[in-house]
């Protein structure tokens, strides 16, 4: 077990929900409170994460067993090299995606989400809070189109509906649903309500 002195905060949701904006806003808030922050995302840009990204960008995902294998290797490296050392130094770690993404995306591709949760929790520290930024799939796809981006192999309507259903079924004390159809500052306010509870635990 790591000796956790910082907090691990995760943002989840299908693409187009505003996760990276929320990571930035929370980082700014925490730094204004004198807290040291590390931000990152998964899949990482390491060897294993890049295999999954490259396949999805080409429009053809890897076979799901291979995807799970690559993403677990990627996460294991991330935990060992970045997440655990930063938490031990007392930094707060903010992540744009973590293992709930695997439950949702590889779960929606046919692997049992409960089994995936067990596999991940055998080595990956559980978050102190994971904010699920929830919006209807059509709204998310509209936002992606408005950014001028084309959909990659993960971003298809029926598939994302299945991901959203798995997010909705996830059970953990740290899992918090937030309505992300609201504007970014509203969502940030909801995030802060809970982050202030975590800050209170430190004082
Ligand atoms: P994404 O956050 O969309 O990266 P970018 O914004 O740079 O495109 O991540 C890429 C995809 O990886 C995303 O569609 C979800 C998927 N993914 C999984 O399928 N399983 C996982 O465990 C993780 C972390 C991500």
Residue 159: which domain range? Answer: 8-202
Q: In what order do the strands lie in the sheet with 37-41?
A: 37-41, 92-96, 8-12, 129-134, 175-179
Ligand 1 and 105: CB distance under 6 A: yes
Q: Kindly give, in sequence order, each residue whose CB lies less than 8 Å from that of residue 124, ignoring residues fewer than 6 positions away.
A: 75, 76, 79, 98, 99
**Dist. CA 56 → ligand 1 center (Å):** 9
Q: 197 exposed, middle or buried (CB, 10 Å; 0-12, 13-18, 19+)? A: exposed
In a domain, 35, yes or no: yes
Structural domain includes residue 75: yes
Within a domain: 125: yes
Q: 158 lies in a domain?
A: yes
| pLDDT tens-digit series, residues 60-96 | 999 999 999 999 999 999 999 999 999 999 999 999 9
CATH code, domain with 61? 3.40.50.300
- pTM, full prediction: 0.95
pLDDT in tens, 126-154: 999 999 999 999 999 998 889 888 878 77
User: Which of 113, 48, 114 lies closest to 78 in space, CA to CA?
Assistant: 48
Q: Is residue 2 part of a domain?
A: no
* Residue 51 domain-assigned (yes or no): yes
Q: Is the CB of 43 under 6 A from ligand 1?
A: yes
Q: Which of 4-8, 110-114, 183-187 has the lowest mean pLDDT?
A: 4-8
**Under 8 Å between Cβ of 25 and 131:** no
Residue 32: phi and psi, rounded to 5, are -65, -20
Which atom of ligand 1 is least distant from the CA of 106?
A: 19
Q: Is residue 24 one of the residues assigned to a domain?
A: yes
97 lines ligand 1 (CB under 6 A): yes
Q: What is the distance in A from the centroid of ligand 1 to the CA of 118? A: 20
Please tell me the distance from the alpha carbon of residue 113 to that of residue 164, in angstroms, as a whole number. 13
Residue 81: how many CB atoms within 10 A of its CB? 12
Best residue among 18, 23, 101 to mutate for probing ligand 1, ranked by most atoms within 8 Å of CB: 101
Whether the CB of 11 sits within 6 Å of ligand 1:
no
Q: What are the start-end ranges of the H helices in 58-183?
A: 64-78, 84-88, 99-105, 113-121, 137-146, 157-169
Distance, CA of 22 to CA of 40 (rounded, Å): 12
Do the Cβ atoms of 7 and 61 come closer than 8 Å? no
Domain count along the chain: 1
* 28 is a domain residue: yes
Counting atoms of ligand 1 from 1, which one is nearest the CA of 52?
Answer: 12
């Amino acid at each position: 077990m790591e000796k956790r002195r910082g907090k691990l905060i995760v943002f989840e949701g299908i693409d187009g929900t505003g996760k990276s904006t929320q990571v930035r806003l929370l980082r700014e808030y925490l730094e204004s409170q004198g807290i040291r922050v590390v931000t990152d995302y998964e899949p990482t840009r390491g060897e294993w994460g890049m295999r999954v990204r490259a396949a999805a960008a080409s429009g053809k995902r890897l076979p799901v067993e291979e995807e799970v294998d690559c993403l677990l290797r990627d996460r294991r490296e991330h935990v060992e090299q970045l997440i655990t050392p930063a938490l031990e130094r007392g930094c707060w770690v903010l992540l744009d995606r973590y293992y709930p993404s695997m439950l949702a995306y590889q779960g929606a591709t046919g692997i049992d989400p409960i089994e995936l949760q067990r596999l991940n929790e055998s080595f990956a520290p559980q978050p102190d809070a994971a904010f699920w930024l929830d919006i209807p799939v059509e709204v998310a796809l509209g936002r992606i189109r408005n950014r001028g981006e084309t959909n990659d192999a993960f971003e298809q309507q029926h598939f994302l509906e299945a991901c959203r259903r798995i997010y909705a079924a996830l059970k953990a004390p740290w899992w918090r649903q937030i309505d992300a159809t609201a504007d970014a500052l509203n969502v940030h306010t909801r995030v802060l309500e809970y982050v202030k509870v975590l800050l209170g635990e430190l004082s």
